[in-house]
Each structure stands twice: as structure tokens, then as C-alpha cells.
Chains A and B, each alone.
Chain A
Amino acid sequence: MTLLEIKNLKKVYTARFSNQQTEALSTVNFSVKEGEFVSIMGESGSGKTTLLNIISTLDDATSGDVYLDGNPLSKIKDKEISAFRRNKLGFVFQDFNLLDNFTIKDNILLPLVLSKTPIGEMESRLMPIVRNLGIEAHIDKFPYEVSGGQKQRVAVARALITQPKIILADEPTGALDSKASQNLMETLKGINETGQTILMVTHSTRAASFSNRVLFIRDGAVYHEIYRGEGSADDFMDRITQSLTVLNSRGERDE
């Protein structure tokens, strides 16, 4: 079943004081099925972040639309957009975006508090998630008291607690060392195996190798995609690396 569908998405930025236009996304088409773990890869400036921002409703598309569960995001009223983001989407950011004035526990509960969830409900959701992510010992600490890997797990817990339709992860391993990255990706994979849909933007081939499918984006369009299939993670990683090499060399020839 298709959960997320991106149709003819186009985004053009116009500079404020001139007519010069920059095309961030030319035509993007792809879809994500429920339960899938999709990675989007590409060079800096290829339009990955713009794409993710539009899916996150943080930015508007110039034309085309994004459908979640068959409903176009552009039809959501301004007033409902925050609630939509809170209830339907979960976010994991490169720089964690945890709040220093909240304890780990309160950071995780933040979206639920904003949705005015009853306390009992909040607490019953909290424990299984933190236990699962192995951060239950730290829930009364503050973000600046735990390591980077733990911070990112907290962010994952915060994304999961609203039971979102889809988790949007923007370079989640970008600020982590290799061991913590490995750990986090295994966690995300585990979460995906329980049926959670994940869409991740990344630079890292290793991180991408944990997903089921990788989309390659270049100059504002989806260029190529490969499926993991039945192969091992290492095997998949090699294929991703090859694809990247081919894509890059072909790109150079095109120019």
C-alpha cells in the first residue's frame, strides 16, 4: 500500500532582489510504501534537504504535490499544519534539536504535551520506547549530560512517541562517530522491522545500506534507484557505492 506519493514536485527559489531563479527541484516523482525504509542520497546541493523540507511541510512546493495516505499536503490549512506535523510525522535531525531546558523525558514527551495528551497515556507510551532504545537510565538527565549517540536516540524516541505515519530523518548519523552511527542505524532498522515507515536523507553509504531501497537524487531529480533485495548489508553497500561512482562519472560526462 502506498503511504507517501510525490508527484511532479518542483521547487524554484527566487532571490529577493533580483529575478534570478534557482531550481532546487525540477521534477521529482517517487512513492514510498507502508513499512518501507527508503534512503535518499545525493551530493550537497542536489536538493535532498529541500525535498525533505517539503515533505515535512516546513517548505512549500512551487508546483506538484506530496500525498500522504492519498491526501495532498498542500490542502492542509495553516492552522492544522502544526498538529499535522505533530501527529503524522516524526522527525530526526542531524543536530538532534533537543531542548536544553527539558530533561530527556520531557524532550521525548514534548510532542505529546503539545497535543494535550493525558498524562497516563504519555507515561504508558514512554517506557516501552525508552527501554527499546536503551536510554531508560538517562531519562532524568539533561541533553548536555549525555553523549551524541544517546542524544540521537532521544530524538528517535521523540519521533516515535507520537506513533507517526512516517519518520523523516535528515542525516541522522551526520554528527555521530562510526560506532554510534552503526548503533543508531541498527536501531532504526529494528524500528523499521516493527512496521514503521522511514524516509531518510543521507550522505553516508553505510547508513544507506541499512535501508530497503535507495533513491539517488541529482540536480533536482531522481536519477536512479536500487533495491536491497535479499542480499547482505555489505553487498548492498557495495552496490550503492558502485551506483554513486557511475552516477558521478556519468554526470561529469554529461556536462
Chain B
Amino acid sequence: MNNRFFSSMALRNIKSNRQLYIPYLLSSTAIITMFFLMVSLLTNKFVQERSASLPMLFMVGVIVIAIFSVIFILYTNSFLIKRRKKEIGLYGILGLEKKHVAKILFFETVITSLLSIAAGLVAGLIFGRLVFMLLNYLLRLPTDIAYSTSLVSVAATFGLFIGIFGITFLYNVSQFTFANPIKLLKGKQEGEKEPKGSLILFILALVFLGWGYWISITIPDPLAALEKFFLAVLFVIIGTYLLFISGSIFILKAMKKNKRIYYRPGAFISISGMLYRMKQNAVGLANICILASMVIIAVSTTATMFIGAEETLENSYPYENNMKVFGDSEDIGAINSRFFELQEQLREETEAAGLEVTEMESYRYQNMYGQLEGQQFIFEQSLIDGSELPVFLQILPLEDFNAMSGNSYSLSDDEALYYHSTGTYQKDELTIGEQNYRLSAIENEFSEEMALTESLVLVVPDISHIKQLKEDYEKQFPDDVYLTVDAEIGWDTTGTEEEKREFAEQMNDEHSWAEDHHYEARLLQREEWYSINGGFLFLGIFLGLLFTIGTVLITYFKQVSEGFDDREKFQIMQKVGLDKDMIQDSTRSQIVWMFLLPIVIATIHVSFAYPIVRKLLLIFGVTNDVTWLLSFIGVVIAFAAIYWMIYRVTSRVYYSIVK
């Protein structure tokens, strides 16, 4: 018998086991595509150039997916080979020697691995290019992110997966070498044995998870985070697999012992089914859980960066065009004429550019720091002085406040309006310097940044009061004579995006660093930010998409393969009186397992990853915790919704198979 015979036999086997091999080949291809794309990202220009720590983080990603690939392919293979035990046992009975069977298996492995690796690489090249094109089109970043790959990426993918398929071959051969044909014939029927020492496994799971969590919680600084990130991820992954394997068996067995729970139609069918293939079930759930964690982290961090960036932009540049006018500390009155003069000039320049001013806000102000004590605001010289954080005080003249807020308050000489960011100052009067004001409260008409530290805004009857307060301050701190009254002018214009940009560029040329004022356009600032950081959004969406597709395929594979496995059982049960409603009932009672468990544990993982990821984000200049938390919650909910749909669709597939 020559190799030609064995290879054609192998090919025929694969064809006749189509039902098993198609999902296997599809999911192997998907995982190879995923790995290849991840490796290719390492050669991406943005990843290489944006920050020295990015290639390291992506390397972690590559290794994580490599580990994941090993586990996933071994898991799908063991599932496949179990179902073929009978067929291969038959070869033994028909007189094929073990080395012949090994040869058939060898050719099968060669065919399937070459097929799926080739398909994976091609799919990676096409998918990568298409998605990059699509994302570039959708995001319209100032600079396109180019898809790139290299021969090294191809070689790495090829090498890794040849290695993995090699292991599956050895595993399959060992399965048949150490078993006699009769046992093989029965192999499919036998349930999986509970792994030995599952209590020890459970404790190990908790140790690994605890260790991984501990690394994350106690991480001191971003650099350490970068170093330890991989270790923490690795521990959590190991812990997850162990937890699902030992934990799910514990819970299932406990449920089986409880007769009230177990002896109900839905639970009866689903619990016994899950126990029958307990390890396979657990590994499948752990796979879903790990992918879910990756999606949530990738998407929520990038979302944080971008929502955070938009917030910062909105706060720092409340208008499309923003002009800051610097006062003169020696000639405090000079600002007054300059203020109106500039407003007029800007209006003219805008109209000269063919645009109209739709909204203009301008105000003069003076900033001070101090503490609120009783009814008094006590000046402080600078930020460092007190042990407590100082209260930020901004003083505005009434004229400017009315103009910017569209109100028409009037104040007598000893009256003032105030806004307090924490809302804790409820007194009727305030003494500041040597002045005493009767107060009435107003809403926050000012910047959102007021919320960051305790801030107080005081609107005084006119600009002379500000002058007076400056003098009071200088009396207290004679050395500090640099206090100035400054002004902000912000305005929006009509016009298309293009016209606005042209105007902004023109203004930028003329005014960006003038002697007493400084111009900034939100549009240009945003573009600058995006051209530096746009790649993050891009990669975040790309990875989120990649991992979500991974989740879809794995869930699909799990449902389809288990569907075919369970089909016969459901047919028997229908003969003895199982109706269709009850089949649905039993698939429904898997929701808790298939849907809730992976999502809940992924959420716990990601919550514990929060400290270390936060430190990593600091490297890229993200500091806003609230945004992080909100986008984290948002992404968890959104992903849960997507996963719910995946679950619903795939469980319908399962139902239609077993029905």
C-alpha cells in the first residue's frame, strides 16, 4: 500500500465526515486569520511609531492569541476525534495496522492543516485590507492607517499552526495506539470522566486568578504595568480555564444532587448533557469568556481615549474659534479698550472671510485661589501653599456675564451673583478682601471644567470691583503683582467645514502667537489630536471587531458541534414522549450557562484589570476616570447585547439541528 492510497483515503474520510470537518475547518481558519491579522498589526506603522510601549502591548496580544489558538484547536480536535473513534476502531477490526491508521491520520492532518492555514492567510490578507479600507473610510482620520504585513508574519503564522496541528496529530495517534478496537467502537458513547483532583484544580484556579488580580491591583506605576501586564493576563487566562473546568463540574454535580432542581424536564436534559461532556463544555465557555474580556478591554479603553479627547476639546475650546486676551498687570484698565477693540476686529475679519458670526461669547475675568472659611474667602498665593486643595475663584463683571448668558440681572453696589461647583456654600453673604457682598445664586453658565476642582464664580457689579479686589490681594501679598484681568472671546461662524477650516488656518497664521492674545481653533486642535492618536481608535475598533467575530465563530462552533452530538439523544427522547416545547425549554435553561456565565466572569476580569489598564492608559495621556467607568459600563452592556444576539441566533441553529 503506497502513500497515494493513504492520501486518497484521508481525503475521502474528510469528505464523508463533512458534517464534522466543515465547522472544524471554518473555525480553524477563523482563528488562523485572527492570529495572522494580530501578527500583521505588529508591522503596522502606527504601532511601531506612536509609542515605544505599543509594540510591547501588541506583542502581548499576539502571545495571548497564540495561547488561545493552541487551546482552541486542541479542543475542537479532541471533539472531532472523539466522534470518529468508532470509524477508526473499525479500521483496526478490518485489519489495518496501527502504523497504517497513523498514516491515514497523518495525511488527514496535512490536508486539513494546509487547507486551513492557506485559507486563514488568504482570508487575513483580504479581510485585513477590506476592514482597513472600510475603517479608513468611516473614520476619516487625518492620515489613513495603512494595512501592512510581512513575510515574517506569514512565516510566524505558518510555523505556529503547523506546530499546533502537529500536536493534534500526535494526540490523535496516541488515542488510537493505546486503545483496543473494541473500546474505540464504544468510545463515542462514553461520557467524559471528571478530571482527577478537581478540588486541587479549583484551588489552583483561585490562586492564579487571585495572583493575576493582585498584580493588577497593586501595580505602582505605568512602567511596572507595562512589564507585568503580560504576566497578569497569562495568570488570569490560566485561572479562567481552570475555574471553568473545576467550577462548572462542581456546580453541575451539586445541581444534579439536588433532586428538586435536577428532576425537571429542562434541567434534567441540559445538566446531564453538560456533565456528559463536562471538560469540552467548560473549555468552550472559558474560550467565550476570554474573548469577551478582550473585546471589552480593547473597545472600552479606546472609547475612553476618544470620548475623553472630545470632552477635553469641548472644555478647552468651548467655541469653534477661541481667543484669549492677556491683560497687563501694570495697566489694569488697558484690557477694557483692547477687549472691545479685538471683538470688533474679529467680527470684521470673520466677515471679510465671507462668514458670519452666529454666536459670540466674551468676558473679562480674573482668577484667584483661596479657601472658604465661614463667610470669608481667604486669598492664597499659589497652588502649592495649603495642605488642602485651594478653591478656584473666577470673578466676572456683570456686564459680561449678562452678555454671555443672555440674562439681564442688575446688581447694586454691594451685591454679587455666585455659582459654587459643590453647592455647599449656602450663605447669604461673602467677604472677600475688604469687600462684602450680598449673594444670590445662579446656575452654572460656565465651563464644565468647574466640576474638576471646587470652584467658585463671582459676578460683581462692574470691572472696577475686580480692580478693587486685585488691590486688596496685592495689599496682602505685596510681592505678587502679576495678577491680571484677562478676557476670553469665543465665536462660532456660519459656513461649511471647508470654509471653517480655511478661516481657522488663516486666523491661526495671523493670531496664533500675537503679543497680547492667542488664537486656537477647535477644528485644528482636534485634527492635531487625531493625527497623533487616531490610530488608537482605529486599532481599538479593529480588535473589537476581530474578537467579536471570534466570539461569534466559537459560539457557533460550540452550538453546531453540540447540536450534532445531541441530535440522536433528542430523537430518542422524542420517541418516548419529548415534545418540541420541552426541547426549547431545555435549550432555554442553558441560557444561564451559555450566556450569563461568560459575560459575568468577563466583567469581573475586566473590573480587576481596571487598575493596570488605567496605568497603561496614563502612558497615552488618558486620565479621566469617570469617562473610563462610563465607557466601560457602556461597552459591557453593548457587548452583552451583541452576545445575546449571537447566542439567540446560534441556539436557534442548535434547536433546528436537534429538532
Task: Tell me if B94 counts as interface (CB < 8 A to partner A).
Answer: no
Contact between chains at A99 and B573 (CB < 8 Å):
yes
Q: Which one of B270-278, B509-517, B543-551 contacts A?
A: B270-278
| Docked pose: A113 CA to B569 CA in angstroms | 15
The residue on B at minimum CB distance from A95 is B572
Decide yes or no: A91 and B576 within 8 Å by CB, A101-B276, A116-B264 being known contacts.
Answer: yes
Task: Tell me if B191 counts as interface (CB < 8 A to partner A).
Answer: yes
Decide yes or no: A100 and B189 within 8 Å by CB, A113-B265, A116-B264 being known contacts.
Answer: yes
The residue on A at minimum CB distance from B577 is A86
Contact between chains at A114 and B575 (CB < 8 Å):
no
| Docked pose: A98 CA to B189 CA in angstroms | 11
| Docked pose: A113 CA to B261 CA in angstroms | 11
Contact between chains at B264 and A142 (CB < 8 Å):
no
Contact between chains at B572 and A111 (CB < 8 Å):
no
The residue on B at minimum CB distance from A87 is B577
Contact between chains at A86 and B576 (CB < 8 Å):
yes
| Docked pose: A47 CA to B272 CA in angstroms | 37
Contact between chains at A144 and B190 (CB < 8 Å):
yes
Which residues of chain A come closer than 8 Å to B573, judged between CB atoms? 99, 110, 114
Contact between chains at A143 and B575 (CB < 8 Å):
no
Interface size on B, residues (CB 8 A): 25
| Docked pose: A28 CA to B190 CA in angstroms | 43
Which residues of chain B come closer than 8 Å to A106, judged between CB atoms? 268, 272
- Interface size grouping (class) on chain A: 20 to 34
Decide yes or no: A99 and B577 within 8 Å by CB, A113-B263, A113-B268, A142-B191 being known contacts.
Answer: no
Q: What per-residue 1/0 map shows which CB atoms of B514-532 lie under 8 Å from chain A? A: 0000000000000000000
Task: Tell me if B186 counts as interface (CB < 8 A to partner A).
Answer: yes
Contact between chains at B259 and A93 (CB < 8 Å):
no
**Could you say which of A56, A91, A99, A114 contacts B265, with CB atoms under 8 Å apart?**
A114
Task: Tell me if B579 counts as interface (CB < 8 A to partner A).
Answer: yes
**Could you say which of B259, B260, B276, B575 contacts A58, with CB atoms under 8 Å apart?**
B575
Task: Tell me if A85 counts as interface (CB < 8 A to partner B).
Answer: yes
Which residues of chain A come closer than 8 Å to B259, judged between CB atoms? 119
**Could you say which of B265, B572, B579 contacts A79, with CB atoms under 8 Å apart?**
B579
Task: Tell me if A82 counts as interface (CB < 8 A to partner B).
Answer: yes
| Docked pose: A119 CA to B258 CA in angstroms | 11
**Could you say which of B263, B275, B572, B582 contacts A99, with CB atoms under 8 Å apart?**
B572
Which residues of chain B come closer than 8 Å to A91, judged between CB atoms? 575-576
The residue on B at minimum CB distance from A120 is B259
| Docked pose: A27 CA to B629 CA in angstroms | 76
Decide yes or no: A85 and B577 within 8 Å by CB, A101-B569, A113-B264, A119-B259 being known contacts.
Answer: yes
| Docked pose: A56 CA to B265 CA in angstroms | 22
Task: Tell me if A83 counts as interface (CB < 8 A to partner B).
Answer: yes
**Interface of chain B residues 101 through 123 with chain A (CB within 8 A):** none
The residue on A at minimum CB distance from B571 is A97
**Could you say which of B263, B575, B577, B582 contacts A93, with CB atoms under 8 Å apart?**
B575
| Docked pose: A72 CA to B582 CA in angstroms | 25
Which residues of chain B come closer than 8 Å to A82, judged between CB atoms? 574, 577-580, 582
Which residues of chain A come closer than 8 Å to B276, judged between CB atoms? 100-101
| Docked pose: A91 CA to B576 CA in angstroms | 7
| Docked pose: A143 CA to B569 CA in angstroms | 13
Q: Nearest chain B CB to A220's CB is how many angstroms away? A: 24
Interface centre among A87, A114, A142, A158, by most chain B C-beta atoms within 10 angstroms, is A114
Contact between chains at A97 and B572 (CB < 8 Å):
yes
**Interface of chain B residues 250 through 292 with chain A (CB within 8 A):** 259-260, 263-265, 268, 272-273, 275-276
Decide yes or no: A111 and B576 within 8 Å by CB, A116-B264, A119-B263, A144-B186 being known contacts.
Answer: yes
Q: Nearest chain B CB to A5's CB is how many angstroms away? A: 22
The residue on A at minimum CB distance from B271 is A101
Decide yes or no: A119 and B260 within 8 Å by CB, A58-B575, A93-B575 being known contacts.
Answer: yes
**Interface of chain B residues 180 through 232 with chain A (CB within 8 A):** 186, 189-191
Which residues of chain A come closer than 8 Å to B186, judged between CB atoms? 144
**Could you say which of B273, B569, B577, B580 contacts A114, with CB atoms under 8 Å apart?**
B577
The residue on B at minimum CB distance from A97 is B572
Q: What per-residue 1/0 map shows which CB atoms of A147-189 lie under 8 Å from chain B? A: 0000000000010000000000000000000000000000000
| Docked pose: A213 CA to B275 CA in angstroms | 45
Which residues of chain B come closer than 8 Å to A81, judged between CB atoms? 579
Contact between chains at B569 and A99 (CB < 8 Å):
yes
| Docked pose: A115 CA to B577 CA in angstroms | 9
Which residues of chain B come closer than 8 Å to A114, judged between CB atoms? 265, 573, 576-578, 582
Which residues of chain A come closer than 8 Å to B578, judged between CB atoms? 82, 114
The residue on A at minimum CB distance from B572 is A97
Q: Nearest chain B CB to A85's CB is how many angstroms away? A: 4
| Docked pose: A116 CA to B276 CA in angstroms | 23
Q: Nearest chain A CB to B54's CB is how many angstroms away? A: 49
Binding site for B on A (CB under 8 A): 56, 58, 79, 81-87, 91, 93, 97-102, 106, 109-111, 113-116, 119, 122, 142-144, 158
A-B contact pairs, 15 of them (CB 8 A): A58-B575, A82-B577, A83-B577, A85-B575, A85-B576, A98-B572, A99-B573, A100-B276, A110-B268, A110-B576, A111-B576, A111-B577, A114-B576, A116-B264, A116-B265
Q: Enumerate the 6 nearest inter-chain pairs by beta-carbon distance, A residue then B residue, closest first.
A: A86-B577, A82-B579, A101-B276, A85-B577, A144-B189, A100-B189
In the complex, besides A110-B268, A113-B264, 20 extra interface pairs with C-beta distance below 8 angstroms are A79-B579, A81-B579, A82-B574, A82-B578, A82-B579, A82-B582, A84-B577, A85-B575, A86-B577, A97-B572, A97-B575, A100-B189, A100-B191, A100-B569, A113-B263, A113-B268, A114-B576, A119-B259, A142-B191, A158-B576
